[in-house]
Every structure is written in C-alpha cells, then in structure tokens.
C-alpha cells in the first residue's frame, strides 16, 4: 500500500516538475538542463512534505533535519541520473525534450521510492492517503 500512496505523491510532484519544465524550457526557451534541475528541486520539496504527511508517518531513527538532508542526498543522486538520461535522450539521440523529461522522471522514480522506504523512512508506519 505504501507504494500506491507514494505513486500518488510522486505523481503530484512529477506534474509540478513537468509543468515547470514545459513552461520555462519547452515554451519560453530557457536552457532545458537548468530548468530541469530547478523543477526537480521544487518537486523534491513538494514530494518530501507530501510523503511525510500522507505516506511515511511516525517516529524514525533520524531527526527531522537529518531526514530532510537524507532526502536531498537521495534526490541529488536521482537528479544526477535524471540529468544524465535527459542529456543523452535530447542531445545524443535527439528525442523530443518533453518525452525525454517524462522518461527520465520515470527511470528515477523507483530509485527515490526504494531509497526513501528502505533507508530514510525505514521503521515508520504508513497512513491512509485520505488522512
């Protein structure tokens, strides 16, 4: 059930990321790599707060600041992989920017969920999404 709840939280975060990317890189013409990194960071903040509210709740072995730092370390690794995939898809094999962004997000989704569930939020109980 945790994976299903995280899917909704991740989906919300991804929509925010893709919206920022679409507006600023695709339509406004800003550098797609910079916009992608900025959108990813905004989405990571949203994901963190939604995750602790709806998915992972309760006590953990880490304090709040440490937990947030680990989320950003995990997300930083995810961002690196995301940017590498995005660059490869857009600049090396010349795929559409928006398609490449969505594909890169999908590839990083599993890493983020598994690292958060089994390391950062390990030992925490989950809540129902409606709470």
Give me the tens of pLDDT residue by residue for the chain, a chain 131 residues long: 677 887 898 899 999 999 999 999 989 999 999 999 999 999 988 988 888 888 876 656 667 788 778 878 988 999 999 999 999 999 999 999 999 999 999 888 888 878 877 877 765 544 443 33
Query: What does pTM read for this prediction?
Result: 0.78
Beta strands in 6-83 (DSSP E): 56-57
Beta strands in 59-108 (DSSP E): none
């Amino acid at each position: 059930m945790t994976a299903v709840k995280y899917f909704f939280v991740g989906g919300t975060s991804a929509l925010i990321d893709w919206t920022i990317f679409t507006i600023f890189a695709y339509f406004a013409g800003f550098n797609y790599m910079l916009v992608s990194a900025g959108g990813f960071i905004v989405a990571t903040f949203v994901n963190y707060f939604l995750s602790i509210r709806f998915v992972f709740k309760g006590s953990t072995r880490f304090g709040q600041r440490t937990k947030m730092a680990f989320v950003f370390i995990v997300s930083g690794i995810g961002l690196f992989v995301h940017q590498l995939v995005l660059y490869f898809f857009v600049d090396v094999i010349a795929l559409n920017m928006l398609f490449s962004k969505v594909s890169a997000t999908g590839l990083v989704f599993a890493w983020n969920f598994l690292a958060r569930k089994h390391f950062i939020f390990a030992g925490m109980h989950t809540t129902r999404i409606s709470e």
